[in-house]
Amino acid sequence: MKLKQEILEKIKDVIGKANVFEEEPMSEHTSMEVGGPAAYLFQPETAEDTAFLLKILKQENYPFYIKGNGSNLIVHDEGYDGAIIEMMKMNRIEVSGTFVTAECGAMLKDISAKAVEASLSGFEFASGIPGSLGGAITMNAGAYDGEMKDIVTEVTLMDKEGNVLTKKNEEMDFSYRHSLCSDGDYIVLKAEFQLAEGDSSEIQAKVDDLSARRKEKQPLEYPSCGSTFKRPEGYFAGKLITDAGLKGYCHGGAAVSDKHAGFIINKDHATAAEILELISYVQEEVKEQFGVELKCEVKII
């Protein structure tokens, strides 16, 4: 579905022609490396650009989806018949004392590097998560006994009408892989963290240790979305999948990782359909064998 030409030209005038793409393959914008073309992909550079896009697309009743780095996203092979608003060009990071403020498109590894440079501790757990800040806040990303909710002081959001508001940590409704933004009513613009003063070399050593542990235990050599499933209460998804006899199981080019069964990987030029079919098969087998429902952590459009 195409936008009216005059609307498209207006968008180009406001956010810049270089930030407007037509029939853009989403396989180039997701870590799983699958997905057909989006009718449009827009890359706003400011909150004002983002508000403009939201308002004009709503006025036109045109479908849109907000994405960050695409490290937790699978797009169908048919693509997306609408506009993808990719927030990655809003990526500024600032440090003031023990506080770090970063925009939604900043990669977690880059925020971690800034924290190390400033001798600030507390962000190490997130250093190896391959995503952007917006997605990390939205899903309260966590690893190695740390979560975003542990360090966030406040978050600047935008509602779907383009209004900007600020929420304190306790107003963000953080829980396991969930926040106030999880239902799609708000877009993360930026967040502030409070970290602790520390020794730069010790902080870097912890980052390096966590990175080595991640490399040893996770199939980083293949495209994936990280952990495919949420942790079921009282269980571990990877162990359930292994116990179901599915570790290493392949379906077309998609596979259950033989290094970590909680990861579905793009092993050999998989299609989105093959990956989604494998996810469903794993869910069915675990449900049948153990009576446990595995819920997807990955977003699918």
For the segment 79-136, what is each residue's pLDDT rounded down to a tens digit? 999 999 999 999 999 999 999 999 999 999 999 999 999 999 999 999 888 889 999 9
Rounded distance, CA 39 to CA 285, Å? 36
Residue 214 catalytic?
A: no
> Does residue 213 carry a catalytic annotation?
no
CATH architecture assigned to 93-216: 2-Layer Sandwich (3.30)
Whole-number pLDDT of residue 176? 86
What pLDDT, on the 0 to 100 scale, is given for residue 18?
98
Query: Which pLDDT does position 219 carry in this prediction?
Result: 94
HSE toward the beta carbon, residue 120, CA cutoff 13 A: 22
Banded pLDDT at 255 (limits 50, 70, 90) = very high
- Tell me, yes or no, if 297 is annotated catalytic: yes
The tokens describing 159, both together, are 């509602």
Mean pLDDT over all residues of the chain?
95
Q: Taking the domain 219-300, which CATH number applies?
A: 3.90.78.10
CATH of domain 5-86: 3.30.43.10
What are the tokens at 270? 């998989």
Q: Are strands 152-159 and 186-194 parallel, antiparallel or unpaired?
A: antiparallel
Question: Catalytic pick from 33, 227, 257, 274?
Answer: 227
pLDDT number for residue 91: 97
Does pLDDT of 21 surpass 90? yes
pLDDT of residue 196: 96
Q: What is the pLDDT of residue 145?
A: 77
Average pLDDT for 47-53 = 97
The pLDDT value given to residue 160: 87
Residue ranges per structural domain of the chain? 5-86, 93-216, 219-300
- As to burial, measured by CB atoms within 10 angstroms (0-12 exposed, 13-18 middle, 19+ buried), residue 216 is exposed
Token pair for 267: 């092993």
Backbone dihedral region of 252: left (phi > 0), alpha (psi from -120 to 50 degrees) or beta? left
User: Quick check: pTM over 0.85?
Assistant: yes
CB atoms near residue 136 (< 10 Å):
29
Among 269, 249, 219, smallest CA distance to 34 is for 269
Q: Please give the Cα distance from 148 to 138 (Å, whole number).
A: 10
Cα–chain-centroid distance for residue 20? 21
In 161-182, which positions are buried (b, 16+ CB within 10 angstroms) versus exposed (e)? ebeeeebebeebebeebbbbbb
pLDDT digits (tens, 9 = 90+) for 139-195: 998 888 789 999 999 999 999 889 999 999 999 999 988 999 988 889 999 999 999
Give the model confidence (pLDDT) of 57-84 as tens digits. 999 999 999 999 999 999 999 999 999 9
Catalytic residue among 24, 86, 154, 297: 297
> pLDDT tier at 1 (50, 70, 90 boundaries)?
confident
221-242 pLDDT, tens digit each: 999 999 999 999 999 999 999 9
Residue from 33, 177, 224, 257 carrying the catalytic annotation: 177
